[in-house]
Structure formats: structure tokens, C-alpha cells
Structure 1
Amino acid sequence: MDYKAAGAPKPAKGKPRHSEHNARGSEKNPLNRKDDKSALLARMKAAAEKGNKD
């Protein structure tokens, strides 16, 4: 008897079951778009100031 072939097949590895809604290269997030670092920095500073006040 071939015990190696017995049982259910193993699932595929390394591939997600679904695609993200904002994945790189999609309509919402094109590949050539540059992330705005200055806006991110401003949000981080505002969050830090808000945290210091509390």
C-alpha cells in the first residue's frame, strides 16, 4: 500500500486566498503613485501632540 498518497491533498502554500481591495497595481492604488511622506509626517506629528495632551 502506498501510504504517501493516502489522505487529503495538502493545500497550496504561499498564495493568499483573496486579493486585497487596495493592493498595489489596482485601480485604487496604481503602481506609479508616489506615497506622500509629508502628509504622513503631519499626521504622525498631530497624533503625537494629541497623545501628549491627554
Structure 2
Amino acid sequence: MKNIDIKQQILLLKNDQLLVKKVQVQANKTNKAKKDYDKESKKLDSLFAELKKIREQF
């Protein structure tokens, strides 16, 4: 009986490890997406600043 319990515990631990890995992968994807978004947002901000300067000249 105890042998079965130990095997079940091992399977549960392996399942938990897989879940943790999935969460880590999602977190990495989210962090990369945020960095990409921030980078593109900065580009847009600088373009709008340039556009504003050009408009002020006319």
C-alpha cells in the first residue's frame, strides 16, 4: 500500500514540475512581449515628438 502512495506522490511531483515549467515559459513569453512593446512604444513616442517639431515649424 505504501509503495502505491509513494508512486502517486512521485507522479504528483512530476506533474507539479511540469506545471511550474509551463508557467515559467508563459512568464518568459510575457516578459519578452512587454519588452518588445516598450521598445516599440519608445519608437512611436520619438516619432510623435519629431512630428510635433515639424508641425511647429509650419
Normalising TM by the smaller chain, what interval?
0.3 to 0.5
Structure with higher helix content: 2
Which structure has the larger Rg over C-alpha atoms?
2
Q: TM-score, normalised by structure 1?
A: 0.36
Q: TM-score, normalised by structure 2?
A: 0.34
Larger relative contact order (C-alpha < 8 A, sep ≥ 6)?
1
